[in-house]
Amino acid sequence: MFGFLRARRREKHLAANPIPDALWREAERLPLFIGLNDDERRRLREQAAWFLHEKTITPLQGLEIDDQAKVILAAQAVLPILNLGFDAYDDWHEVVLYPAQFVSRDRYTDPIGVVHEGEQVLAGQARPEGPILLSWLDVAESAWLDGWNVVIHELAHKLDMRDSAGHANGRPPLHKGMDAAAWKRVFSDAYHHLNRLADSGRYSPIDLYAAETPAECFAVFSEYFFETPHAVADHYPAVYEQLKQFYKQDPLLRLPRVRYRPAYEPVEFGPIWPTPAPLGYDA
């Protein structure tokens, strides 16, 4: 009953407060949204409008953010939940926006287990107790299909935290019918493979930040899944399959094998990649 009333309230609000055409046109032409069909675009626009209604956006350090910028942020933010439903974000309420990369003074543990009390410069952070922190400059640079998207990265952490009291562990709550053992095995294999690449100094098709922790592995693969799905499917097909089941999307079907730069200039990237290294090849 409560869910029904909530859905009614949402529908009513969306009907009365759509994202204005001009603002939406500018957002949906970003390369990240290439290949989405009309129905997907309509739902993305609705979810983005609901995102802007439900989440407080708090600019800091003198940042002035206009409605266009908010729509560009919201459209990227809801792409991962396009087929999951808005409730997947119902456990947090605020986006804190910095003008550029910011300094975090949290205690953190590095990959070899050393705890640091010092400062980190970050493009984004998903806070276990609530807000998402983002650098606006990096949000604006995120939608170029280069495998790097700070919005998707931090929201993947948020999805990951849903079943573990704010602790991201690389395993978000899986849907009915998904195989938890397969998820664990596939991500563990990929994580260890990336770690071996990192240790050996060999080329990696995936940003080796994914080798930091299992949580970063899931978040970084999520960025690639939505931006350069061929990179995941070519090199880590089992990871692609798990992410396809989790996000209920198949970006391989909609995105070209190209990388975009801010001039909207497509660049072929298939040929520059070396032959995929089979998992465990240097074990």
Give me the residues paired with residue 96 across strands: 58, 133
Give the interface segment with Zn ion, choosing from 174-182, 187-195, 212-220, 223-231 (CB under 5 A): 212-220
Determine the 3-state secondary structure of 91 from DSSP. Answer: coil
Query: In the bound complex, what is the minimum distance in angstroms from residue 215's beta carbon to Zn ion?
Result: 7
CB nearer to Zn ion: give 31 or 170. 170
The span of 54-62, 216-224, 255-263, 272-280 binding Zn ion (CB under 5 A) equals 216-224
What track of x and - describes contact with Zn ion for positions 44 through 63 (by CB under 5 A)?
--------------------
Q: Is 152 a binder of Zn ion (CB under 5 A)? A: no
The residue nearest Zn ion at its CB is 219
Residue 116 pairs in a beta bridge with: 108
> For Zn ion, which is the closer residue by CB, 213 or 245?
213
Q: How far apart are CA 17 and CA 12, in angstroms?
A: 9
Q: Which stretch binds Zn ion (CB under 5 A): 80-88, 91-99, 208-216, 224-232?
A: 208-216
- Smallest gap from residue 212 Cβ to Zn ion (A): 8
Q: Say if CB 153 and CB 219 are below 8 A apart.
A: yes
Cα–Cα distance for residue pair 29/68, rounded to 1 Å: 13
Q: Are strands 132-135 and 94-98 parallel, antiparallel or unpaired?
A: parallel
- Kindly give, in sequence order, each residue whose CB lies less than 8 Å from that of residue 21, ignoring residues fewer than 6 positions away: none
CB 225 within 8 A of CB 232: yes
Q: What's CA 212's distance to the chain center, in Å?
A: 17
Q: Which residue has the tokens 């550029």?
A: 100
Residues 135 and 122: beta-carbon distance below 8 Å? yes
124 secondary structure, DSSP code:
E
Distance (Å, whole) CA 130 – CA 57 = 13
With contacts defined by CB under 5 A, how many residues of the chain interact with Zn ion? 2
| Closest separation in Å from C-beta 263 to Zn ion | 28
> Encoding tokens for residue 57?
């956006």
Region near Zn ion per CB under 5 A, out of 52-60, 104-112, 189-197, 213-221? 213-221
139 in contact with Zn ion (CB under 5 A): no
Residue 74 binds Zn ion (CB under 5 A)? no
Extract the tokens encoding 223. 């960025």
What is the closest distance, in whole angstroms, from the C-beta atom of residue 176 to Zn ion in the complex?
A: 27
Task: Decide whether 45 or 153 has the Cβ nearer to Zn ion.
Answer: 153
Compare residues 46 and 216 and give the one whose CB is closer to Zn ion.
216
141: tokens are 């640079």
Selected range binding Zn ion among 74-82, 130-138, 217-225, 256-264, rule: CB under 5 A: 217-225
Residue from 72, 219, 231, 243 that binds Zn ion (CB under 5 A)?
A: 219
Output the smallest distance, CB 157 to Zn ion, in A. Answer: 6
Contact residues: Zn ion, CB under 5 A:
216, 219
